[in-house]
A and B are shown apart, each in its own frame.
Chain A
Amino acid sequence: MLVPLSWLKDFVTIDRPVAEVDRILTNAGLEVKTIEYIGIPGADLVWDRGLIVLGHILKVEQHPNADKLVLATVDYGADAPEVVVTGAPNLFEFVGQGDISSRGLYSPLALEGAELYDGHKDGRQKMKLKGRPLRGIHNRCMVCSEKELGISDEHEGIILITKDEWSPDYVAGTPLQDVLGDAVLEIDIIPNIARCASMLGVAREYAALTNQPLRLPDYHVVMDGPPVEGKVLITTDEPELNPRFVGMVINNVRQIDSPYWMQYRLRLAGQRPINVVVDISNYVMLEMGQPNHTFDYDFLRQRADQYAPDGPIHIHTRLPQPGETLTTLDEKVHKLPPHAILVTDPLSNLSLGGIMGGLDSEIKPETQNVLLEAAAWNFINIRRTSTTLGIHSDAAFRFSRGVHPSQALLGAQRAAELMRRLAGGTVAQGIVDYYPNPPQPTAVTLKYEYARRLSGLDLSGEAMAGLLRRLEFEVKVHGDHLIATVPDHRLDIEGPHDLVEEICRVYGYDNIPNTILSDPLPPQRGNPKLEQEERIKDVLAQAGLQELITFRLTSPLYEAKLLPGSEGDARPYVSLTNPNSAERAVMRHSLLASVLEIAAHNSRYQDRIAIFEIGPIFIEDEEEILPTEQTRLSLALTGQRGVPGWQGGNAGQYDFFDLKGILETLFGEVHLPISYEAAQHPTYRPGRTARLLLNGQQIGVMGELHPLVAERLDLRLERDQPVLAADIDLDALIPHIPPYYPYTPISPYPPIEEDLAVVVDGGVTAVTVEQTIRQAGGNLLKDVRLFDVYEGEQIGKGKRSLAYHLTFQATDKTLNDKAVAKQRQRIIAALAQRLNAKIRE
């Protein structure tokens, strides 16, 4: 909401600098987002106090040498008035009228040397005013347009301010800064300060915060027209949705332009001036927060002649009939949701209550008689309706945040009186006020002990009451509690906690001390699962992998790319009813798919990709309300194993065993005995896929990505460049990570090291050979390390040679060759017997 500081000053004294006003309001929850300065220090163009002043126009004459120029005689407080040459079209009507000083016409006058914006150039370009002859008459000064002063882009005519009973007491020569200079605050109206969605609301808050009195607008209305009684009847079906409806009739309004001061304020507040009747309606809404609506009275009367020739106009609010539509004044036709509340007469609907007027019943340029509506509406219902219909009017903005019903009558009176005085209308006697159930004032009890405990402030009951009274609460102070009656412009106070907030706000959040929690600590449980996840992240990052955090929303189509030859994952998805895009429409089943999506993206820029993520996947559970969320670990490797430097040394491309090495490192770090077994999985390349087993239970799959999958995911790869991937179930793994594990003592006795090359059939796996060696080797065999794998003619077709480096060591003595030879023979015998292996000498 845009709030001109000058408008606030109608209601409260503001003598602090703008920055201080900003701080006071912002700290109290009326956040000032931006400040626009007009003409005063802070503005891009500051109006020089001596050179840009208010001028009083005394006389307008035709320029002797030019049809399109006039000479305006302007009093600007100097000894003699100045004659100004101008082409302003809005001065032409005064030519030949002689002395017009009694008309009270004022305009900003810039004297020679003043800095202004150039009215004839696009945008805002500054220029310095220089005296020069215009068609033979020397001209030193200029009467200014809004554009020249930086108020708006308006450059058709000059600013002409007509003094009226509402204007301040203008004096020629007053610095223009003091007349039109302003600071416009853009205030963010959060839901619980809806009461501040008006100038009065902000002023009231400022008055409370600075402990000053508030000056209320004058709600008195002179009603001297014919009585309204018998002319308008107001009823409702829905007193809950429409608790109050105030109607007033104003006759013989003249739809002229509203006075400059009103137009100026409306524009600063972001409203476009239209004509005096519409402007007053908007002005009252901005001023005191009560939206109101003007109907064409004669239009309604003609309709009444059809349904009740001798009876009153019957305004009735109700819910729509099935299929009912309404055309709003912006000429849009709306299908009405069942909860939309309508203002109707017996013939049809007239407007959308609290949101927007209907096209037909709206006042028109020729309208003379007005039925003014100021009503109260249920804010939740207005919100639903405006959201459903997508209508975000200024009225809906306020009504959907809550306007207290007490304001309706005041708003009607204020608007009617302004129409009387500015539009020349006559206000009918009497007010039709449909208000069946005026709410009782809310009284809230606040215990001091509670207030102190919640706020941390050690305030007396009297002090608390004082702070609340500044906000217009009526407060009665008792022994250990106070009772505060909520002022009738507020809907947001429900309980004692709300009062504590008000006390803290007025006291100043900044004045509350900062203390450290002294309440007892809860049991410290830690978060063991998170701690393990973070530990795994550390191990993988140290192993050279980069952690990712990816989108958890995906599409089944994308994930199906990982499963060639099938329709995709058959398990049900958590699906969105209102996705932002088809690509992000379900919660993922596969973390690996997310990781590979990132691999594909990076494959355009990177020679080396080594990435992982730990995160959840979501499997819809038809039995339970919520899906199953499983924590997965996915890894992907592809491209250059090393980072090329200037010394060369191409380390080759990542392959299956790089990934396996990383996994072995990880599982070694967390002390989990994982075994690997050849497996098949549609995502992975047949023959290069392994499943990971922990105590016989599968906890994951790793392998080379199936070339078809790599292609479908659009990974940019070199020829034959493998992509390695793994997907691991951390929920199955983490609970088995041992908190402790036994330490292996370091033997002081020297080891004996031997090599052993074993030739086996190709079908015998490495893990089987190693297990056999370890079992046969007994306690003395400390370590078995494979250092060569060979296949070739020399050892026979279909055979494979595996060469191991064996380390024998005892913890209690130095081993001799004889003891080692005995173990070696046992190993050889076991290999021969169980695996039909031969030793390669």
Chain B
Amino acid sequence: MLDELETLYTESLAKLDQVDNTAVLETWYHDTLGRKGAVYLLTRQVGQMDPAIRPAFGKRLNEVKSDLQAAYDGRLATLKAAELEATIAGSALDVTLPGRPLPTGGLHIITQTLRDTYRIFGDMGFQVYRSPDVDTDANNFELLNFPPHHPAREMQDSFYTTKPDVILRTHTSAGQIRAMQEYYPEPVRVILPGMCYRNEQITTRSSIQFTQVEGLAVGHNISMADLKGTLTEFARRMFGANRQTRFRASYFPFTEPSAEMDITCFLCESKGCQVCKYTGWLEILGSGMVHPNVLRNGGYDPDVYTGFAFGMGPERIAMLKYGIDDIRQFWGNDLRFLQQF
């Protein structure tokens, strides 16, 4: 019997060595260690065995059983690993093939630019105030300290409507008067985005319609230094922490003192390039302290209140940031343009 066991043991191990795939391995297991396998058949004979040799045989049988099981486990692991390796080896992809395209949408570049300004000024307590595109001459000009035939009106060629004294706003400053009149006597801190219109030739640099964002802060103690600080903060967040600003005296009828703000050119880091015309500076916005007449027209006593205002063009910002060379793209809405942003 013991011989039979030893033969089974060596033959089974020899057979196991020949097994080269998991399917054959399962057959080997079935034949050897399975419920009706060779080892089981020997086990069944233990009861009829001479009691004298039974313990030794039993002990050896258990050893053989566990050795075979271990050999099987090892073989199974090896074969599985080999098979997985083979599967993987045969299933390589050309990872440079393009992915499945998704139909994607997006926001207009100007919406994205406006949101940037909303967020930055929002953090400084400025809230968005919107006013109509079609407004009165009074709100757009007179109350902003542009008397009739004033030279400053020539800077902005207006579109007039068939209704007397009703025009398409030439700037969002028209909303300054509305905001002040609505909020008096509270302090004011608003930004005014919107579409503006000027009767200009449509070229790569000018359009009959353009967006603008203005800002207005009115309170008891608002100074030119606050204006500089606020706008410099904006410039750093909008155009990068390294940006420096420069304020130049300028003229707007509704502010006094007035200033243009330039930032150091972010395209060439002020080394000089075509965009900054080799000056190292980019003109970004116009600003100033709210003119006393404008404060008064908004309901605020200029002896008690001061304020600042500023205005900028999102198209110009986007043109600078992305190197867009034709302002007509913004309202042309060619999807080949819009989907780049």
Which positions in A face B, CB cutoff 8 Å? 26-29, 31, 190-193, 379-381, 383-384, 387, 400-401, 450, 453-457, 495, 497-498, 500-501, 504-505, 509-510, 512-527, 530, 534, 537-538, 540-553, 574-580, 584, 587, 598, 601-602, 605-606, 608-611, 616, 618, 620, 625-627, 629, 641-647
Q: A576 with B161: in contact, given A548-B333, A629-B132, A643-B101 (CB under 8 Å)?
A: yes
CB-CB under 8 A from B107, the residues of chain A are 537-538, 541, 547
Q: A645 with B101: in contact, given A383-B154, A454-B306, A527-B129 (CB under 8 Å)?
A: yes
Contact of B159 among A450, A541, A579, A620 (CB under 8 A): A579
Q: Say whether A618 contacts B134, CB under 8 Å.
A: yes
- Whole-angstrom distance between the alpha carbons of A454 and B295 in the complex? 13
Q: A552 with B248: in contact, given A516-B230, A577-B161 (CB under 8 Å)?
A: no
Q: Say whether A523 contacts B186, CB under 8 Å.
A: yes
Q: A514 with B127: in contact, given A501-B257, A537-B111, A549-B111 (CB under 8 Å)?
A: no
Binds A, one of B12-20, B69-77, B216-224: B216-224
CB-CB under 8 A from A192, the residues of chain B are 251
Binds A, one of B44-52, B58-66, B79-87, B145-153: B145-153
CB-CB under 8 A from A498, the residues of chain B are 256
Q: Say whether B100 contacts A509, CB under 8 Å.
A: no
B247 within 8 A of A: yes
Q: B187-204, CB under 8 A of A: which get 1 and which 0? A: 111000001010111100
Q: Say whether B197 contacts A550, CB under 8 Å.
A: no
Q: A602 with B334: in contact, given A517-B222, A547-B107 (CB under 8 Å)?
A: yes
6 closest A-B pairs by CB: A456-B225, A29-B249, A456-B223, A501-B257, A519-B219, A643-B101
B258 within 8 A of A: yes
Q: Say whether B248 contacts A380, CB under 8 Å.
A: no
Expressed in whole angstroms, the minimum distance between the Cβ of B137 and any Cβ of chain A is 10
Q: Say whether A643 contacts B209, CB under 8 Å.
A: no
**26 residue pairs A–B, Cβ–Cβ below 8 Å:** A456-B228, A497-B257, A509-B224, A512-B224, A513-B229, A515-B229, A516-B233, A517-B125, A517-B219, A519-B217, A519-B220, A540-B105, A544-B103, A544-B105, A549-B111, A549-B331, A549-B333, A552-B195, A584-B208, A587-B134, A601-B333, A602-B335, A606-B335, A626-B136, A641-B103, A647-B100
B25 within 8 A of A: no
CB-CB under 8 A from A626, the residues of chain B are 132, 134-136, 166
Contact of B149 among A27, A28, A384, A550 (CB under 8 A): A384
Q: Say whether B163 contacts A625, CB under 8 Å.
A: yes
Question: Apart from A530-B128, A643-B102, what 13 extra A-B contacts exist at CB < 8 Å?
Answer: A454-B257, A517-B189, A522-B183, A537-B107, A537-B111, A544-B103, A551-B331, A552-B133, A580-B200, A580-B208, A598-B333, A602-B335, A626-B135
CB-CB under 8 A from A516, the residues of chain B are 226, 229-230, 233
Q: Say whether A501 contacts B108, CB under 8 Å.
A: no
- Whole-angstrom distance between the alpha carbons of A495 and B209 in the complex? 35
With both beta carbons as reference points, the residue of chain A lying nearest to B200 in the complex is identified as: A580
B90 within 8 A of A: no
Contact of B199 among A500, A523, A578 (CB under 8 A): A578
Expressed in whole angstroms, the minimum distance between the Cβ of A299 and any Cβ of chain B is 34
B336 within 8 A of A: yes
With both beta carbons as reference points, the residue of chain A lying nearest to B112 in the complex is identified as: A547
With both beta carbons as reference points, the residue of chain B lying nearest to A402 in the complex is identified as: B151
Interface residues of B in 233-283 (CB under 8 A from A): 233, 246-251, 256-260
Most B Cβ at <10 Å: residue of A455, A505, A509, A534: A509
CB-CB under 8 A from A587, the residues of chain B are 133-134, 168
Expressed in whole angstroms, the minimum distance between the Cβ of B113 and any Cβ of chain A is 11
Expressed in whole angstroms, the minimum distance between the Cβ of B149 and any Cβ of chain A is 5
- Whole-angstrom distance between the alpha carbons of A625 and B163 in the complex? 8
CB-CB under 8 A from B124, the residues of chain A are 517
- Whole-angstrom distance between the alpha carbons of A522 and B188 in the complex? 6
- Whole-angstrom distance between the alpha carbons of A548 and B335 in the complex? 9
Contact of A609 among B132, B165, B226, B335 (CB under 8 A): B335
Q: Say whether A509 contacts B249, CB under 8 Å.
A: yes
B28 within 8 A of A: no
B160 within 8 A of A: yes
Expressed in whole angstroms, the minimum distance between the Cβ of B196 and any Cβ of chain A is 11
B91 within 8 A of A: no
- Whole-angstrom distance between the alpha carbons of A618 and B208 in the complex? 17
Q: Say whether A26 contacts B159, CB under 8 Å.
A: no
CB-CB under 8 A from B186, the residues of chain A are 522-523
Q: A547 with B209: in contact, given A27-B248, A387-B154 (CB under 8 Å)?
A: no
- Whole-angstrom distance between the alpha carbons of A605 and B339 in the complex? 13
- Whole-angstrom distance between the alpha carbons of A419 and B241 in the complex? 60
Expressed in whole angstroms, the minimum distance between the Cβ of B271 and any Cβ of chain A is 15
With both beta carbons as reference points, the residue of chain B lying nearest to A520 in the complex is identified as: B187
| Size category, B interface | 35 or more
Which positions in B face A, CB cutoff 8 Å? 97-108, 110-111, 115, 124-125, 127-130, 132-136, 147, 149-152, 154-155, 159-163, 165-166, 168, 183, 186-189, 195, 197, 199-202, 208-209, 211, 217, 219-226, 228-230, 232-233, 246-251, 256-260, 289, 291-292, 302-303, 306, 330-336, 338-339
CB-CB under 8 A from A646, the residues of chain B are 97-98
CB-CB under 8 A from B129, the residues of chain A are 527
CB-CB under 8 A from A545, the residues of chain B are 105
Q: Say whether A575 contacts B162, CB under 8 Å.
A: yes
- Whole-angstrom distance between the alpha carbons of A711 and B305 in the complex? 59
Q: A605 with B97: in contact, given A513-B225, A552-B133 (CB under 8 Å)?
A: no
CB-CB under 8 A from B289, the residues of chain A are 454, 497, 500
Expressed in whole angstroms, the minimum distance between the Cβ of B261 and any Cβ of chain A is 10
Expressed in whole angstroms, the minimum distance between the Cβ of A629 and any Cβ of chain B is 5
Q: Say whether A521 contacts B105, CB under 8 Å.
A: no
Expressed in whole angstroms, the minimum distance between the Cβ of A109 and any Cβ of chain B is 33
- Whole-angstrom distance between the alpha carbons of A584 and B328 in the complex? 14
With both beta carbons as reference points, the residue of chain A lying nearest to B104 in the complex is identified as: A544
CB-CB under 8 A from B230, the residues of chain A are 516-517
Q: Say whether A601 contacts B332, CB under 8 Å.
A: yes
Q: Say whether A553 contacts B197, CB under 8 Å.
A: yes
Q: Say whether A541 contacts B306, CB under 8 Å.
A: no
- Whole-angstrom distance between the alpha carbons of A505 and B151 in the complex? 22
With both beta carbons as reference points, the residue of chain A lying nearest to B97 in the complex is identified as: A646
- Whole-angstrom distance between the alpha carbons of A538 and B106 in the complex? 8
- Whole-angstrom distance between the alpha carbons of A27 and B261 in the complex? 10
- Whole-angstrom distance between the alpha carbons of A501 and B257 in the complex? 4
CB-CB under 8 A from B188, the residues of chain A are 522
Expressed in whole angstroms, the minimum distance between the Cβ of A536 and any Cβ of chain B is 11
CB-CB under 8 A from A609, the residues of chain B are 335
CB-CB under 8 A from A505, the residues of chain B are 249, 257
Expressed in whole angstroms, the minimum distance between the Cβ of A618 and any Cβ of chain B is 6
Q: Say whether A546 contacts B335, CB under 8 Å.
A: yes
Expressed in whole angstroms, the minimum distance between the Cβ of B238 and any Cβ of chain A is 16
CB-CB under 8 A from B202, the residues of chain A are 580
Q: Say whether B249 contacts A549, CB under 8 Å.
A: no
CB-CB under 8 A from B183, the residues of chain A are 522
- Whole-angstrom distance between the alpha carbons of A157 and B247 in the complex? 47
Most B Cβ at <10 Å: residue of A379, A598, A605: A598
Contact of B223 among A190, A515, A547, A549 (CB under 8 A): A515
CB-CB under 8 A from A548, the residues of chain B are 108, 333, 338
- Whole-angstrom distance between the alpha carbons of A190 and B134 in the complex? 28
With both beta carbons as reference points, the residue of chain A lying nearest to B197 in the complex is identified as: A553
With both beta carbons as reference points, the residue of chain B lying nearest to A604 in the complex is identified as: B334
Expressed in whole angstroms, the minimum distance between the Cβ of A587 and any Cβ of chain B is 6
CB-CB under 8 A from B219, the residues of chain A are 517, 519-520
- Whole-angstrom distance between the alpha carbons of A618 and B161 in the complex? 12
CB-CB under 8 A from B102, the residues of chain A are 544, 643
CB-CB under 8 A from A191, the residues of chain B are 151-152, 155, 251
- Whole-angstrom distance between the alpha carbons of A379 and B153 in the complex? 14
Q: Say whether A629 contacts B133, CB under 8 Å.
A: yes
CB-CB under 8 A from A515, the residues of chain B are 223, 225-226, 228-229
CB-CB under 8 A from B103, the residues of chain A are 544, 608, 610, 641-643
- Whole-angstrom distance between the alpha carbons of A643 and B335 in the complex? 14
